[in-house]
Structure 1
Amino acid sequence: MSVDVADLTPAQARERFRTGERVPTAGWCRGWTQANLIAVPARLRYELLLFAHHNPQACPVLDVGEPGAWSTALFTGDLRTDLPGYRLYRDGRPVADLDEVVEEWRADLVPFLIGCSFTFERALLAAGVPVRHLELGTNVPMYVTNVPCEASGSLSGPLVVSMRPVPEELVKTAVEVSGRYPRVHGAPVHIGDPAAIGIGDLARPDFGDPVEVRAGEVPLFWACGVTPQAAIMASGVDYAIGHLPGHMAILDVRDEDYRLV
């Protein structure tokens, strides 16, 4: 009998990823918070913290580990093996997508867990707002914009956004519902015309999978936790490890812990 991945606990999901399952995690572990991973050399940890402070909607920090640590207070698994996909960066370039990063995890790497908009998707559904990539069983589409983040030291780069098409009559509801989760990106940063933020073609996301925007729907764009990886690339950081976009760390904390009202 097949198991609905929405019914798994974080520990059960992490075990499946550790043993080779490689899928985007939207819809997994109902009610449990997911997070973006970025691990940088210790010499950059304060710059990344300041970058996150200056760009809180894109980079809401949920947890930070010690140098070399592969677990944190909110993630009791192994950050090197318990995500379903990783991306390795050298000199600002993505050089490999990996199933695990045990050999690549250096003693000076500091792991950051950044909030994810998957956290409020079930709240959107409960309010009657459709979530297209969940309907299709695909990865959320993500785009690099022409909106610059505020720089911090050597770190700078563009804002990355995720997109969900919403029926026009439900746009206000989607804004209100997601706005109750400011620590995991909150309300959209842009509504409507993608060209206004430098997106030329919604059918060609920079990360994830495209989804159709149907007649009567409006594209809504939320700040995305892949933004630190865009900064790694734009800034030419010599070494870093991130999650494969959409293939998240599933934490030992509940979505509702991040809901304000």
Structure 2
Amino acid sequence: MSETYQKLKNSTLDEQRAAIRSGAYRSHTAGLGKGHLQANLAIMPEAYALDFMRFCQRNPKPCPLTGVSDTGNPMMFTLGRDIDIRTDVPAYNIYRDGKLAGSANDISDIWRDDLVVFALGCSFTFEHALMRAGIPVWHIDNDKTVPMFRSNVDTVPAGPFSGKMVVSMRAIPESRVSEAIEISRRFPLAHGAPVYWGDPAGLGIADLSAPDWGDPSPIGPGEVPVFWACGVTPQVAIEAARLPLCITHKPGHMLITDVAEDAEAPVLSVTNDKT
């Protein structure tokens, strides 16, 4: 486990976001933001925003919508007092015409006045609750990114957006699977309860050692692979939609918000300046 990661895990939320904004930390955010909602991102021109909002509404398990920006405003004032979406994510993926064109740690130079930001809840949020209950989370203990897989489950299309659901996997002791299900169910903004557990072939996954995103995670004796809907699902839909420009988080590299992890809706308890 890297020294920087270990230090950040034990630091405050403000210190974690400051390290990300300054570029001092550019890795995954699993285990960070304790007590707060983490979010996946999809940033796109306003012309496509209504169809994407419909896509999220029709697919709430993989796409739990937690925040939407004003057009052209990079400040996510409903999710925090000082969140600049251009700098406050460790790494971004940039898609052009539906193809991954590259990654960046800062998107200030490609920000446009017609862009709209969508924030979607992330399963990293409920992992703190699993660990508090004594359920091991291997990728956090080993400073890795959770494994993510394309499944055979269709999403409900909206406009140009469609595709298969992406799932994240965690190996859970068989005796505690029911407990993990009930714990995660309490976090509907973070995908809630899992969508499947057991033989990965049921989701069309042939090899757990070869995730489509993230790092392989071992399945130990007496453990069961458990699969949650994943906020990388929109990236598959974005590829299908072939938008001229779309920016997302790099899988595993999330936005850490000020919203409490158990919030029923992403509303802050204080008034925030929108500028």
Give the TM bin, normalised by the shorter chain.
over 0.9
Q: Is the 8 A contact 1:150 1:156 kept in 2?
A: yes
Partner-residue secondary structure (3-state), 2:109: coil
Deviates more, 1:232-241 or 1:1-10: 1-10
Match of 2:142 in 1: 136
For 1:72-221, list aligned pairs within 5 A: 72=76, 73-75=78-80, 76-221=82-227
Asked whether the 8 Å contact 1:67–1:109 carries over to 2, the reply is: yes
The CA deviation at 1:29 is 2.5
| CA displacement at 1:64 relative to structure 2 | 0.2
The amino acid of 1:68's aligned partner reads G
Matched, 1:6 2:32: no
* Structure 1 position 27 matched with structure 2 position 31: yes
Q: Distance in 2 between matches of 1:258 and 1:170?
A: 25
Unaligned regions of 5+ residues in structure 1, if any?
A: none
**Secondary structure of the structure 1 residue equivalent to 2:238:** helix
Partner of 1:63: 67
1:251 equivalent in structure 2: 257
Q: Could you tell me how far apart the structure 1 residues matched to 2:234 and 2:217 are?
A: 24
Q: Any conservation in 2 of the 1:7–1:29 contact (CA below 8 Å)?
A: no
Note the alpha carbon deviations across 1:230-257, whole angstroms, 9 max, x for none.
Answer: 1001222221000111000010111122
Distance 1:169 1:161 in 2: 22
Amino acid in structure 2 at the alignment position of 1:111: V
Q: Secondary structure at the match of 1:257?
A: coil
Cα distance between partner residues in 2 of 1:5 and 1:52:
32
Quick check: 2:123–2:190 contact (8 Å CA) kept in 1?
yes
The aligned amino acid for 2:21 is R
8 Å CA contact 1:167–1:216 kept in 2: the answer is yes
- Choose which of 228, 236, 240 in structure 2 pairs with 1:230: 236
State TM-score, norm by structure 1: 0.95
Output the CA distance in 2 between the equivalents of 1:9 and 1:71. Answer: 21
Structure 1 residue matching 2:102: 3-state secondary structure = strand
**Amino acid of the structure 1 residue aligned with 2:74:** W
Q: Cα distance, 1:258 vs. partner? A: 4.3
Kindly indicate whether the alpha-carbon contact (under 8 Å) linking 2:42 and 2:234 is maintained by their aligned counterparts in 1. Answer: yes
**What's 1:17 paired with?**
20
3-state SS in 2 of match to 1:175: helix
- Mapped partners of 1:95, 1:195: distance in 2: 31
RMSD between superposed Cα atoms in Å: 1.6
Following superposition, the deviation at residue 86 of structure 1 comes to 0.4
Paired residue secondary structure (1:172): helix
* Percent of aligned pairs with the same amino acid: 45
* Aligned residue-pair number: 259
Native 8 Å contact 2:160 2:240 kept in 1: no
Where has structure 1 moved over 4 Å in runs of 4 or more? none
Provide the rounded CA distance (Å) in 2 between the counterparts of 1:239 and 1:5.
Answer: 32
How far apart are residue 9 of structure 1 and its match?
3.1
Q: Is the 8 A contact 1:162 1:222 kept in 2?
A: yes
